[in-house]
Amino acid sequence: MIFNLYKPVRWTSFDVVKKIRGITHEKKVGHGGTLDPFAEGVLIIGTGKDTKVLSDITDKRKSYLATLTLGKTTNTLDVEGKVTEQVPITNLTSDTVRIILSGFKGKQKQIPPMFSAKKVKGVRLYKLARKNQTIEREPRQINIYNIDFVSLDNDTLTFSVTCSKGTYVRVLGKDIAEALGTVGYLTKLVRTNVGEYTVSDSVTIEQFEKRWIPTEV
């Protein structure tokens, strides 16, 4: 079966997989696209034979609502990291931000962050990053299908984005901040869509557990 769950903040995607495995007692449980622990929103879970279709789901376009704090950045590019740099913010206007955001639309290369689960030579990058090690990473082609301005409040910029598989919105946030003449990191990230699966149709883990009816053998 395929389930559209709402991943809560501070849970890893594997935490959700493990929880659903415990609720359903299915041996085969997987997810259709990782969400960082600080992020929340749509996480597609597959069980049993339907885990085979998860690779197709992972390839679907994904949409996010991102909150970017400007003027400082962290080593993880999100709220969970340590502040590593502070840069003054120039006078920004909504029109200026809209113009900058529009420049990110389309195909482009993106370098995966060190704090990520991506493997290089069999080692996950975050394990090296925790040892203060940085290695060269090959840029990956991504596609930003749509990116829109939502709001600007002092040092906080909110934008929505629809992108391809493999896009790190944390890196996109960093690049946007630099294009605005400063630095930045994500303080909130909500995945609102994975293909046709929407956040309005997702259910919390608590709701899932209450509704789950065990299958009789």
Domains of the chain are 2-59+195-211 (3.30.2350.10), 62-193 (3.30.2350.10)
Rounded to the nearest integer, the mean pLDDT of the chain is: 93
> Does the CA dihedral 187-145-143-197 come out positive or negative?
positive
CA 197 to CA 203: how far, in whole Å?
11
Residue among 134, 143, 138, 140 at smallest CA distance from 115: 134
> Does the pLDDT of residue 217 top 50, yes or no?
no
Cβ contact 168:33 at 8 Å: no
Q: Which H helix or E strand runs over 70?
A: strand 62-70
Percent of the residues in the chain that have a pLDDT greater than 90, as a whole number = 81
Q: How many CA atoms lie within 13 A of 104 on its CB side?
A: 29
> Does the pLDDT of residue 203 top 90, yes or no?
yes
> Does the pLDDT of residue 90 top 90, yes or no?
no
Active site residue 175: no
pTM of the prediction? 0.92
Mean pLDDT of 184-212: 96
According to DSSP, the β-strands at 2-7 and 203-204 are: parallel
Q: Token match 């960082």: residue?
A: 36
Amino acid at 74: T
Mean pLDDT of 131-144: 87
The active-site residue out of 36, 59, 95, 155 is: 36
